[in-house]
């Protein structure tokens, strides 16, 4: 089955990105034909500095490869390296109802805040549909807040299929299971928007300091606490093995501990969990020629698939003689 997902290079990945999405991409590549792209065209709606976008795109490739994306199992490429996608976007936009785009979350939220929404943001869902349809994608792993985009994609493809005949594969969403369960340093869902993230990579000591500053409640040390209701425990559970999690849960219910003890355990467990990825990323940074070759190879395969799909669409709507 063809699986596709894109990651915006708008900043370094955090724990929420990994457990909410990336870890499952890595898992899906074991049994499916994975197409994973770095969505630099989408990032243009927020990043207006060329050097920053280039560096973020390279960092995203390094991060994904370090975390376990395997180029021999999955296709990794940069979105803008496949110009067929932007060509397909126009074909789709000619039949996309304005009302459909006006109902999309990102546009509605920005307008509700009284902010100016540019054409890029407004037509963003059509580019996303082209991203999916260009590769005959069958399954798209997304968070619950992104399901609407898959529904829009199916609607847009359905309009085209209805008018010009069966052309596109209609994808299905695979809702990611763990995205809402990764709390940030303030207890809310970990998100760059909330400025409460913990990075996957970076100086270990600095990350540990961030962990030690995680907000906790004011209950007394001796008081019993329900572990599943505590965000520190939820973070610890992401990294620790079954026996250690059980022991930590028992300590919570027993009471007689300080949150500093738990924070230290979270720091140690997370450092051990990502140790191999950090080492691999350091090695990849010394071999950027390999990284660029992976992206070139991925783009070559992606373009081959997308060219067939776009050719099919152009023939269907009369753009080829």
Residues labelled catalytic? 110, 189, 192
Q: Is 141 helix (H, G, I), strand (E, B) or coil?
A: strand
- Give the span between the Cα atoms of 11 and 59, in whole angstroms: 9
- Give the span between the Cα atoms of 48 and 98, in whole angstroms: 26
Please report the beta strands in the chain, taking only residues with DSSP state E, as ranges in sequence order.
2-7, 33-38, 74-78, 139-142, 172-175
Selection from 260, 255, 251 nearest residue 211 by Cα = 260
C-alpha dist (Å) from residue 80 to 83, 84, 127, 300, 302:
6, 9, 11, 12, 11
- Give the span between the Cα atoms of 10 and 306, in whole angstroms: 25
Exposure of 18 by Cβ count < 10 A (0-12 exposed, 13-18 middle, 19+ buried)?
buried
Residue 191, both tokens: 């998100």
Q: Long-range contacts of range 252-260, CB-CB < 8 Å, 24 or more positions apart?
A: 252/224, 252/225, 252/226, 252/227, 253/224, 253/225, 253/226, 253/227, 254/224, 255/221, 255/222, 255/223, 255/224, 255/225, 256/221, 256/222, 257/221, 258/221, 259/216, 259/232, 260/212
- Give the span between the Cα atoms of 88 and 108, in whole angstroms: 25
| Strand 172-175 versus strand 33-38 pairing type | unpaired
């Amino acid at each position: 089955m063809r699986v596709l997902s894109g990651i915006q290079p708008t900043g370094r990945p955090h724990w929420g990105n990994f457990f909410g999405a990336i870890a499952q991409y890595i898992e899906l590549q074991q049994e499916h034909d994975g197409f994973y792209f770095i969505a630099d065209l989408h990032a243009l709606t927020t990043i207006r500095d060329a050097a920053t976008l280039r560096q973020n795109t390279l960092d995203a490739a390094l991060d994904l490869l370090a975390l376990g994306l395997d180029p021999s199992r999955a296709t990794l490429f940069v979105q803008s390296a496949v110009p067929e996608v932007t060509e397909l976007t126009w074909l789709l936009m000619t039949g996309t109802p304005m009302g459909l785009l006006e109902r999309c979350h990102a546009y509605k939220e920005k307008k509700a805040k009284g902010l100016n929404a540019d054409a890029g943001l407004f037509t963003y869902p059509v580019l996303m549909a082209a991203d999916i349809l260009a590769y005959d994608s069958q399954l798209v792993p997304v968070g619950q807040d992104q399901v609407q985009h898959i529904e829009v994609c199916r609607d847009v493809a359905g309009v085209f299929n209805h008018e010009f005949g069966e052309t596109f594969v209609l994808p299905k969403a695979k809702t990611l299971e763990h995205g809402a369960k990764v709390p940030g340093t303030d207890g809310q869902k970990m998100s760059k928007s909330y400025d409460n993230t913990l990075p996957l990579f970076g100086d270990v000591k600095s990350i540990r300091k961030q962990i030690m500053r995680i907000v906790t409640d004011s209950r007394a040390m001796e008081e019993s606490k329900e572990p599943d209701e505590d965000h520190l425990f939820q973070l610890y559970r992401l990294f620790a093995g079954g026996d250690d999690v059980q022991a930590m849960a028992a300590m919570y219910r027993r009471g007689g501990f300080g949150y500093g003890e738990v924070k230290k355990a979270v720091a140690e467990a997370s450092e051990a969990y990502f140790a191999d990825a950090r080492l691999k990323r350091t090695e990849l940074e010394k071999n950027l020629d390999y990284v660029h070759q992976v992206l070139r190879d991925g783009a070559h395969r992606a373009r081959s698939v997308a060219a067939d799909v776009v050719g099919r669409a152009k023939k269907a709507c009369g753009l080829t003689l």
